[in-house]
Amino acid sequence: MAKVLIIGAGGVGGVVAHKAAMEREAFSEVMLASRRLESCTKLATEIQQMHGRTIQTAQVDADNVPQLTALLKEFQPKVVINVALPYQDLHIMDACLAAGVDYLDTANYEPPDVAKFEYSWQWAYQDRFKQAGRMALLGSGFDPGVTNVFCAYVQKHLLDEVHYVDIVDCNGGSHGKAFATNFNPEINIREITAKGRYWENGEWKETEPLSQSAMFDYPGVGERRSFLLYHEELESLAKNLKGLKRIRFWMTFGEAYLKHLDVMQNIGITRIDEVEFQGQKIVPIKFLRALLPDPASLAQNYTGKTSIGCLCEGIKDGKKKRYFIYNICDHAETYKEVRAQAVSYTTGVPAVTGAVMMVTGKWKGHGVFNMEQLDPDPFLEDVGKRGLPWHVEER
């Protein structure tokens, strides 16, 4: 058994805290830390009432490396689960190295002043983690995360060469709000309004934001229009899948969502640069974040399902084969279990599974790892039992 420390008490952090508290064999002690201690205390009380387990709480500024290092040295966790903002990844990795603790996150680093996210900043930590004898696991959410592991499973068991991959993500649920985002609004809107990118024949190709779309029949949801985006798992999978010729990422958005987004972009409230307002400097998208509903607040009345998977085509024993590997998750069911909507649940559960893989030694190594570089079998066995069952169809 090992101690685990969770950083971040938002929607995903709440799921991770609940599921970590429910894991009594791998985790001897659980601590939840955030800049806002009251958020941690509220979650700790909820977890005690629902699961009968006491978790510890702490206030910490994850951008303050000495402060976070001191907390890690005092609590001495085996692994840190980082579900704070992606802007904070590097500071948390620095603190883990300073304290001699393994590291896990669900989203790659992006600088706060540039709408750009890629793995280069975190891959640059490879030698430091390797020399320290520590492990950093990147992107242990759903996409990235489970989608990476799905691809690794297909490569290990179903196809000799994986030529084409389309990762498809549908939230077929309804939260009843005119406009809301299912995770941090600032991160969500920056991701969607960026130019699309996909990898084909050894090079990256770029598209205008939301300019390419296609219909896809999602199990459990039905046909939905899906839009081509850039998503971080494409970057690592393009490096690690054998024989790959093309990989793309698609996500669904409703008409109302797109109309609201279009208006917000046109009036400039999605800007990430500073503007002057009544003698003060403000960043419009941060102001917008304050106006929009907290993603965690959407959970209680959410209905419908998410459907996320990987459509993989390639060669097996000299013949063309095509497989779809996917998960369906119900918003109402996840609320009953951990008081969260399914988008937070599908990100938080794999983070706990990743941490269990690390503390039990089923996944081990020194350095920085993406999910598809490790054995998919124990992870998928665990994540299925933990609440995210998965299915394979030959198409």
Give the DSSP per-residue string, 124-189: TTHHHHHHHT-EEEE--BTTTBHHHHHHHHIIIII-SEEEEEEEEEEE--B---SS--SS-HHHHH
Residues facing residue 369 across a β-bridge: 137
- Distance (Å) of CA 37 to CA 10, 43, 58, 82, 147: 12, 10, 6, 16, 33
Both tokens assigned to 2: 């090992």
Both tokens assigned to 251: 């996500």
Q: How far is CA 15 from the centre of its chain?
A: 12
Tell me, what's the pLDDT at 277?
87
Helix (H) or strand (E) run with residue 320 in it: strand 319-330
Q: How large is the C-alpha radius of gyration of the chain?
A: 20
The pLDDT mean for the chain works out to: 94
The span from the CA of 328 to the CA of 326, in Å, is 7
Contact 390, 326 (CB under 8 A): yes
The span from the CA of 309 to the CA of 302, in Å, is 21
Tell me, what's the pLDDT at 368?
98
- Distance (Å) of CA 378 to CA 20, 153, 248: 18, 11, 26
Tell me, what's the pLDDT at 361?
98
Walking along the chain (395 residues) 10 residues at a time, the average pLDDT comes out as: 96 97 98 97 98 98 98 98 96 98 96 81 98 98 98 98 98 84 76 91 95 96 96 97 96 86 86 88 87 81 95 97 98 96 96 98 98 98 98 97
Residues facing residue 198 across a β-bridge: 205
Instruction: For residue range 237-287, list pLDDT tens digits in order.
Output: 999 998 999 999 999 988 888 888 888 888 888 888 899 988 899 888 888
Both tokens assigned to 17: 């805290």
Contact 346, 306 (CB under 8 A): yes
The span from the CA of 234 to the CA of 118, in Å, is 10
pTM equals 0.93
Domains in the chain, please, with CATH? 2-142+346-380 (3.40.50.720), 146-339 (3.30.360.10)
Tell me, what's the pLDDT at 298?
79
Half-sphere exposure of 150 (CA within 13 A, CB side): 31
- The alpha carbon torsion through 103, 19, 54, 295 (nearest 10 deg) reads 90
Tell me, what's the pLDDT at 265?
85
Helix (H) or strand (E) run with residue 368 in it: strand 367-370
Q: Is 228 exposed, middle or buried (0-12, 13-18, 19+ CB in 10 A)?
A: buried
Both tokens assigned to 48: 């005690």
Q: Which of 284, 244, 278 is nearest to 264 (CA)?
A: 284
Q: Which of 127, 130, 124, 98 is nearest to 109 (CA)?
A: 124
- Distance (Å) of CA 122 to CA 86, 130, 264: 11, 13, 32
What is the sign of the dihedral through the CA atoms of 241, 312, 211 and 225? negative
